[in-house]
């Protein structure tokens, strides 16, 4: 899992650092954000101290009605040695007791101009993206007609050559050889390229080529949602391959299962065209048009009519 520290969100959202500068490199381990209203009221039984604490107008107005001793005690308990930061919204004035407590415990005390709800939404989206589960897969990721196609297979089967042909046909390369994948939510896998090999393709006998330099900026993209897996394998004459398209394989990546097609490779097969058609057929299926099922139903009707005759 990627690491995020308080300094990252300070830079991302241009937050004002009020006190607790020593703690700006504390790790943030969860995308959940705490609104410590009940803690400010005095109940700390289940205080999620490991989360970013977001304090708005309601919480600060309430603390203003407390006596000095209670207010100091509540702020002292809010600031712990594992709290990654406390953020005040709306550029509100911060009580001196909170500033002193944050400085003592080295808890970064920050302030934003944004409203509480708006900032909470932006920060949650940012943290979920950065802290999403990640993995790496050996393969090639290409954007074909808006469909994120992950091409997998053993080394030397022709993944990069197929990707090169797809790029020549107007599609866009995302990553070659190594695809870094993060699960942004339970139904979304997003693939990117490692920075070191971004926009590069390795073609055996030719070497490394820069796709963006050769074909232009329109031939590449930085990331793409993965929706289907094409697994290339050398043709095995003893294996029975699906000829109708009724069978649906799945490939599990992190916690999500993706549709998987196994494409046998042998001389004379135009893999780029096959992948293009597979991507278009996948889009048709999502719109409710399934040619294999239609054929199967028509065949069943013909057989039924023949039996009646």
Annotated catalytic sites, by residue?
138, 159, 177, 243
Residues in the chain: 309
153 a known binding residue?
A: yes
154 a known binding residue?
A: yes
159 a known binding residue?
A: yes
CB 256 within 8 A of CB 133: no
144 a known binding residue?
A: no
156 a known binding residue?
A: yes
CB 201 within 8 A of CB 163: yes
89 a known binding residue?
A: no
3 a known binding residue?
A: no
Closest listed residue to residue 107, CA positions, set 152, 77, 149: 77
Dist CA 179 CA 148 (whole Å): 12
Closest listed residue to residue 31, CA positions, set 131, 104, 109, 98: 131
- Number of Cβ atoms within 10 Å of the Cβ of 80: 13
Query: b/e map of 45-73 (b: 16 or more CB within 10 Å)?
Result: eebebbbbbbbbeebbeebeebeeeebbe
The binding site for Mg(2+) consists of 160, 202
The binding site for ATP consists of 153-160
The binding site consists of 153-160, 202
């Amino acid at each position: 899992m990627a690491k995020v520290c308080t300094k990252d969100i300070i830079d991302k959202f241009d937050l004002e650092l009020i006190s607790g500068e020593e703690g700006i490199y504390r790790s943030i381990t969860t995308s959940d954000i705490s609104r410590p209203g009940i803690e400010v009221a005095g109940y700390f039984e289940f205080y999620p101290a490991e989360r970013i604490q977001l304090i708005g107008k309601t919480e600060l107005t309430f603390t203003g009605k407390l006596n000095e001793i209670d207010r100091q005690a509540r702020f002292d308990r809010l600031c712990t040695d594992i709290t990654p930061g406390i953020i005040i919204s709306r550029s509100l004035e911060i009580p001196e007791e909170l500033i002193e407590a944050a400085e003592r415990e080295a808890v970064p005390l920050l302030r934003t101009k944004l409203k509480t709800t708006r900032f909470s939404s932006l920060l949650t989206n940012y943290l979920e993206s950065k802290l999403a589960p990640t993995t790496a897969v050996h393969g090639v990721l290409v954007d074909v007609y808006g469909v994120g196609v992950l091409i997998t297979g053993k080394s030397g089967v022709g993944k990069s050559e197929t990707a090169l042909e797809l790029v020549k046909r107007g599609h866009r390369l995302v990553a070659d050889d190594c695809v870094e994948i993060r699960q942004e939510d339970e139904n979304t896998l997003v693939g990117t390229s490692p920075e070191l090999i971004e926009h590069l393709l390795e073609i055996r006998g030719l070497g490394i080529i820069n796709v963006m330099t050769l074909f232009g900026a329109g031939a590449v993209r930085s990331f793409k949602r993965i929706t289907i897996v094409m697994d290339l394998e050398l043709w095995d004459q003893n294996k029975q391959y699906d000829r109708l398209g009724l069978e649906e394989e799945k490939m599990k990546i992190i916690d999500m299962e993706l549709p998987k097609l196994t494409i046998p490779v042998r001389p004379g097969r135009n893999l780029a065209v096959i992948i293009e058609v597979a991507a278009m057929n996948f889009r048709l299926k999502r719109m409710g048009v399934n040619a294999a099922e239609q054929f199967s139903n028509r065949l069943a009707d013909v057989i039924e009519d023949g039996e009646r005759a």
